[in-house]
Amino acid sequence: MVSLTQGFLLVCAAVGLASCTVFLVLVILAAWRFRRRQEESPSIWSNLQPVSLLKPLCGMEPDLELHLESFFTQRYPAFEIVFGTRNAQDPALQVVRTLQARYPHVPVKFTFSGEPHRPNAKVCSLEKMVAAASFDYLVISDSDVRVSPDYVREVVRPLGDPRVGLVTCLYRGAPTEGLWSRLEALGMSVEMTSGVIVAEMLEGMRFALGPTMALRREVLQALGGIGQLASYCSDDYVLGQKIFESGRLVVLSSHVIDHVALSRSLAGSISHQVRWMKSTRFSRPKGHVGTGLTFAMPFGLLGLYAGHASRHEILGLSLLALAVANRVILTITAGWWVVGDRLSLRDCWLYPLRDLMGFCFWVASFLGTTILWRGRRYRLLPGGTMEVVPQHPAAAPGEAPEPVPAVDAHAMANRRI
């Protein structure tokens, strides 16, 4: 009976390593395809439409001034920046005013959404910003991203094609400080990139990535406005999905931006990544289940254990070595070759640990239906919507509970941050 169990574990390890190796081959093919598209991308732009950059803010973040400044220094003929906060006392606005004085030629607007009356506070703020925007070309981006001077030119260029409804782009993780930030940034550069480029190669883009979403106002209006997303957790994913289902194209730009991994502690990193995994579980449940077969290290460790238990140590070590090699190659392919993250090249030896952590986050995503987001607890519902949990559970370390806003019950019936 023992030998049968050991044999079964070895088979499970072999099947798991085979599945993640197939995934690695797909990543290499998708990476080659993406790089070829980058090289073919035109370097001359014409008919550049004026653009409104929409930037939701919520409090201070590490290096916020550096991130926001990269939007003030765009090489683009006509653009404005619309900042949105809940109120005029948000400390992030002082950083904006400093940059406004430094770059007086850049038009800036402010909107204040007040306390959100629907679950997704970011969407409530974006609703105000879209209404205040002067132009019909809109670029929505998170506060924790840093971009190059040609960012706006690159992401709006595909919108010249009327068939295109939305443009989004990949991002490389940029750590702040500490091991946990480095590991989370590695996950952004490698795990996220791998999944996106493979999905885009196999079925086309059917979703958007929140750090950057560029679209025309008419596309939003055809969907009923961005407020339609206020009851969703992964509003970015759903926006791209709805645009795809409307018959328009969602385009993955060849441009790559920096997305900062703000979590400096283990607890903060775990909370953020499990929340993201849970939202994915509810937004695309079938694909999320299949994600478990893309990890390598759990199967390598299983093979090591089964090999040792069955006294086939060399076989067990070989399976573990195969898993480690698989993850190192994946890191170099997705992190360095695709998104140009030089830290991925330096830290490729660390990615096997991040892969094992990612598997643990994936497992944890099936435990419970609630998440903690900016001090409020939400319950995720089938279809990706969410509702505010009215009770005040004990706050996580360092987080004080905030008043729970009233929620539109009709919106609740209809889900990176």
pLDDT digits (tens, 9 = 90+) for 301-324: 999 999 998 888 999 999 999 999
The token pair at 212 is 């950057």
Q: Does pLDDT of 44 surpass 70?
A: no
Question: DSSP assignment, residue 79?
Answer: E
Helix, strand or coil, per DSSP, at residue 81 = strand
- Per the prediction, the chain carries an average pLDDT of 90
pLDDT digits (tens, 9 = 90+) for 5-30: 888 999 999 999 999 999 999 999 99
Q: How far apart are CA 70 and CA 174, in angstroms?
A: 15
DSSP count for the chain of H helices, then E strands = 16, 11
Measured from the Cβ of residue 237, the count of other Cβ atoms closer than 10 Å reads: 22
Tell me which residue has tokens 């419970």: 368
Q: How confident is the model at residue 392 (pLDDT cuts 50, 70, 90)?
A: low
Which amino acid makes up residue 289?
V
Measured from the Cβ of residue 413, the count of other Cβ atoms closer than 10 Å reads: 11
Distant-in-sequence, close-in-space partners of 78: CB < 8 Å, separation ≥ 6: 48, 50, 51, 135
Distant-in-sequence, close-in-space partners of 398: CB < 8 Å, separation ≥ 6: none
Q: Which of 34-38, 322-326, 362-366 has the lowest mean pLDDT?
A: 34-38
Q: Does pLDDT of 228 surpass 90?
A: yes
Rounded to an integer, the average pLDDT of 383-407 is 58
Question: Tell me, what's the pLDDT at 147?
Answer: 97
Work out whether strand 164-175 and strand 249-261 pair parallel, antiparallel, or are unpaired.
Answer: parallel
Q: How confident is the model at residue 264 (pLDDT cuts 50, 70, 90)?
A: confident
Give me the phi and psi of 285, to 5 degrees please. -60, -40
Question: Tell me, what's the pLDDT at 404?
Answer: 37
